[in-house]
Amino acid sequence: MKIKSDVLRTYQTIHTWTGITAGLLLFIGFFAGSLTMFSNAIDDWATPPDYQLQQIRPELHNELLNQVFADYPETVKNVTISYESNSSPIYWYGSGSARGFSLDDKMWHGTLDENGQLVTELKHVNELSMLVDYLHRSAGIVGEIGHDQAGVYILGIAAFLYFIALMSGLIFLLPSLVKSFFALRKEKGANRFWLDSHNLVGIASLPFHIIIAITVVVFSFHDLFYSGLSQVYGNKPLFGGEDKHHEVRYELEDLPTLNEIHAKVAQYAPGFSILSINFRGLTGEHPSASISIVNDKSFMRGPHNDFLFMNPYTLEIDTSSVTNGNGQQGIWGAVVTTFFGLHFGSYGGELGRWLYFIMGLGGAFLFYSGNLIWLEKRRKKQSTEQSKSSHFMANLTAGVCLGCAIGIAGAFAASKWLMLGDWNINVAYMWVYYALFLTSILTAFKFGAARFSIFGFYGLAALCLMIPITSLIGFIPQTGIWLPTSASDYGVEIGSIGFAIASMLAAKKVKKRVYEGEKNSIWYCSKYTSEQPSASLA
């Protein structure tokens, strides 16, 4: 395919600059994002077996709900019934809420004891996956703008650059695409190899990346778009009907039983089972029940489930993400829910999660390798002295990418120990993550990217190994450390061993390159620090 040379040059420049500005932010987003595919398993692993209260037989939930309404009248505003085996059967927020990001959330858990008496406990919400999700959505950038974290908007802007980088990369790759798509030229030197694999991963997962870029922009800036639309709509409403709602007040004793709600859901979405029911505003003007439902055989729209909204008194279904013809979502609803599903990767069961996990890591690799290619291109091939900007970018790349992985691994390794203390565990996770992340960046700048990469990878491997070793301590009685019990618990342990092996291998490779590789490279160090001139500066 022939493209004019000035177009190629233009888009090559665009690709370089969009990539270099957004790459590191996107690395954190993708690395953490690929881990969020297993957030349920992670929380399961990080939660002591006795943390959740005993789940009860499904037919007892109605009795439990009524007892909670009687003893804790404020729950009519917001309470959730859960049928999941590893969750308390009923819970509600003591402080904080499901919306927004807060480290201070406290949750009431309730269950029935064997005599049918209500038992409740107030606990901090321990969600290790919340740390991962927070990094995924904000890249760890601190601060808040409006009702969202500042990092969400910054990643939104990064997503613009990311989309432009995808398009420009595609444009200037097109002419040589057919020739060199599957070529991985190892013999032409490390630079060629990085470039070929960067192109291969980029092209092979292009549709995935386009979807991610578009959805991230929407997730970050939907408020802006809705306010733009409302101008266009004029006096037509964005949402809601044009006819007035009848003001009806419902009384709590008129609330249908859970069985009736189950029957209605089964009729609307056959084949789905109910995970949880969240009741809101039961004595207010707009009572609602949002119901999480799952069916492994269908395309899912949320990260973990489909949903269905109904009026819990009249059992009228407002809408649902299940578009099976029983509602009026039409083609529009199908497209919108598909966008969500394609971002969350929740449509293919376990296999789909693994695929998204791999493509997420592939994305992280794309940004990391992009930076490496930039560095290789700019290095002076005839000199051991490399420019300050090259060193700065190399240090930053190694520090941020490895630092993010080290920080997350550290939080996982510390998790079971932190549960032993009497503090807010979510705050503790943050301290562990940021301490390790910032130390990594400082170390990278102190010792230079080359040396830092070696012990950075060894450190990462050590932290990853700490995770299963900590769990092994659970064999010793009275330590307060618990053993893995479920398949997903073992998955986390095996996964961390996998990461440990991968970083050991990477450490070996890096070591070879640093000490024995080409000398005119920012990655070269002589074995002795005294002979090392400028790498520690920059």
Partner 1 sequence: MNCKKIEPHWWGKTLAGIFAGFFLSIGIVGIFAWLGPDGLTQQITEEQRLWKTQFNMWIITPIWLLILSFVYLFKTSRQAWTWLGGAACTSLIIIAILREML
The pair of structure tokens assigned to 278 is: 């969240």
167 binds partner 1 (CB under 8 A): yes
* β-pair partners for 95: 106
Q: How far is the CB of 20 from partner 1 (least distance, A)?
A: 14
Q: Which window, 140-148, 225-233, 453-461, 485-493, contacts partner 1 (CB under 8 A)?
A: 225-233
Question: Measuring CA to CA, which residue among 130, 46, 35 is closest to residue 485?
Answer: 46
Which residue of 339, 417, 490, 515 would you call a contact of partner 1, by CB under 8 A?
339
Contact between 311 and partner 1 (CB under 8 A)?
A: no
6 binds partner 1 (CB under 8 A): yes
Give yes or no for residue 423 binding partner 1 (CB under 8 A): no
Residue 329 Cβ, how far from partner 1 at the closest point, in Å?
5
Given 2, 239, 246, 382, the residue binding partner 1 (CB under 8 A): 239
Q: Applying CB under 8 A, which of residues 131, 217, 289, 461 lies at the interface with partner 1?
A: 217
Residue 94: strand, helix, or coil: strand
Is 392 a residue that touches partner 1 (CB under 8 A)? no
Residue number, 228 or 421, with CB nearest to partner 1: 228
Cα separation, 467 vs 423, in Å, equals 21
In the complex, what is the shortest distance from the CB of residue 166 to partner 1, in angstroms, rounded to a whole number?
Answer: 8
The edge-to-edge listing of strands for the beta sheet with 78-82 is 118-124, 106-112, 90-95, 78-82, 273-280, 288-294, 306-310, 317-320
User: Is residue 267 a contact point for partner 1 (CB under 8 A)?
Assistant: no
Q: In which residue are the tokens 């209260």 written?
A: 53
The residue (of 163 and 365) whose beta carbon lies closer to partner 1 is: 163
**Whole-angstrom distance, CA of residue 141 vs CA of residue 149:** 8
Q: What is the 3-state secondary structure (H, E, C) of 189-226?
A: CHHHHHHHHHHHHHHHCHHHHHHHHHHHHHHHHHHHHH
- Please, what is the minimum distance in Å from the beta carbon of residue 55 to partner 1? 34
DSSP-derived secondary structure for 377-446:
HHS-TT-S---HHHHHHHHHHHHHHHHHHHHHHHHHHHHHHHTTSSS-HHHHHHHHHHHHHHHHHHHHHH
Could you give the CA distance from residue 512 to residue 370 in angstroms, rounded to a whole number?
21
Residue 110: CB atoms within 10 Å:
23
CA distances for 113 relative to 47, 57, 79, 294, angstroms: 21, 12, 19, 28
Does residue 241 interact with partner 1 by CB under 8 A? yes
Min dist CB 23 to partner 1, Å, is 17
- Of the pair 182, 225, the CB lying nearest partner 1 is at 225
Interface segment toward partner 1; rule CB under 8 A; list 42-50, 89-97, 163-171, 259-267: 163-171
**Should residue 342 be labelled a site residue for partner 1 when binding is judged by CB under 8 A?**
no
Residue 1 interacting with partner 1 (CB under 8 A) = no
Examine residue 197 and tell whether it contacts partner 1 (CB under 8 A). no
Q: Cβ distance 457 to 504 under 8 Å?
A: yes
Our CB check for partner 1 shows the closer of 235 and 382 to be: 235
Contacting positions for partner 1 (CB under 8 A) = 6-7, 10-11, 13-14, 160, 163-164, 167-168, 213-214, 217-218, 221-222, 225-226, 228-229, 231-241, 318-319, 327-330, 332-333, 335-336, 339
